[in-house]
Amino acid sequence: PISRKLSRKMITRNSRNYQAIFILITAALCGSSALHILSAIEIKSLWADELKTFYKTVSLSTPQMMNYLRSDSHPPLYYLALQSWFSFFEPNTKTLRLASWINYVIGGILMTIQTFKLGKNETESRAWVAACIGALITFGSPIALRFSIEGKGYSLVVMLIAAGLLCRQNYI
C-alpha cells in the first residue's frame, strides 16, 4: 500500500510537471506568434479600406462621422473607439493596426479562458489541455493573424463575441 501511494504521488507529480511544460510551451508559441505578427504591422502600406477608416476617424468630427456612417455598411462602435484611441496616440499606420492587434490579443485570451472553463467540466488537467489547444488554434491560425492587424473592425468583433460568449457561459 505504501509503495502504491508513493507511485501515485510520483505519477501525479510527473503529470503535473508535463502539464506545466506543455502550458509553458503553449504560452511561448502563442506569445511568439502574437509578437511576430506585431512585428509585421508596418510591412504593407495602408490599403483602400484602411484609408477610408482613417478618413472617417481622423478627418471627420464625431457628428460628421456619424452622419457619414448612415450610408455606410459598418456600425459606428469601431470608429468611435478609434477616434478615442487617436486622441491618445498619433494617427498613423502603426497605431491604427496596433488598436486592432490589441483587440485580437484580448479576444484570443478570452477564447482561451472560455476553452479552459469548458474543459473544467471534465477535469482540471483536461481543462488545461483544452485551454492550450484553444490558444494554439486562436494564436496560430494564419487567417486570424492576418486579419488581426488590419485597420478594420474585424478584431473588435472577435473580442466582443469572445467576451459575450464568456459572459453567457458564466452567467446564463
pLDDT digits (tens, 9 = 90+) for 39-59: 888 888 888 999 999 999 999
Would you give per-residue pLDDT tens digits along the chain (172 residues)?
Answer: 555 554 555 456 667 778 888 889 999 999 998 888 888 888 888 889 999 999 999 999 999 999 999 988 888 999 999 999 999 999 999 999 999 999 999 999 999 999 999 888 888 888 998 999 999 999 988 888 888 889 898 899 999 999 999 999 888 7
Per DSSP, the residues of the chain read -HHHHHHHHHHHHHHHHHHHHHHHHHHHHHHHHHHHHHHTTTSSPP-HHHHHHHIIIIIS-HHHHHHHHTTSSS-SHHHHHHHHHHHHS--SHHHHHHHHHHHHHHHHHHHHHHHHHHHTTT-HHHHHHHHHHHHHHHHH-HHHHHHHTSSSTHHHHHHHHHHHHHHHHHH-
